[in-house]
Amino acid sequence: MKRNIIAKSMSLLVFTALCLTASTSWARPPRARELCGALQVVDRQTHLLTLLTAGNETPLRLAWKADTSLVRNGQFDTTEALQAGAQVCVHYRTPFFGKPFVTKVVWHEKTASLQH
């Protein structure tokens, strides 16, 4: 009888220890990857960007969401400012299921005052 109580107490203690240490070992999502290249296609109806990078022959298709940050010349902008042919850097994530999606798009346009 006493041995049964000790076994239950030990298993409860081990279970509690596992629960307390497991919270620090949860998996975190991977950080966003950055990729720079030329925008080939900006499809505003399907929310897809097609990006061609220097080292790849095959363009990368990325979806964007409503919370995607678009930064042009250091200022937030709308998707209407994205144009095919622009040189951009995108930060994107690749989920286990579904299409890779963009979290941030950054690009700089030369203004008349900066051109020589």
pLDDT score for 4: 77
Q: Which residue has the tokens 């042919």?
A: 85
8 Å CB contact between 74 and 57: no
Of the CA atoms within 13 Å of residue 99, those in its CB half-sphere come to 14
Give pTM, 2 decimals.
0.68
pLDDT band at 113 (very low <50, low <70, confident <90, very high): low
> What is 27-58 written as a DSSP string?
--PPPPEEEEEEEEEEETTTTEEEEE-TT-SS
CA proximity to 109, closest of 79, 91, 83: 83
Instruction: Give me the pLDDT at residue 63, please.
Output: 93
Q: pLDDT tens across 48-107, in order?
A: 999 999 888 899 999 999 999 999 999 999 989 999 999 999 999 988 888 889 999 999
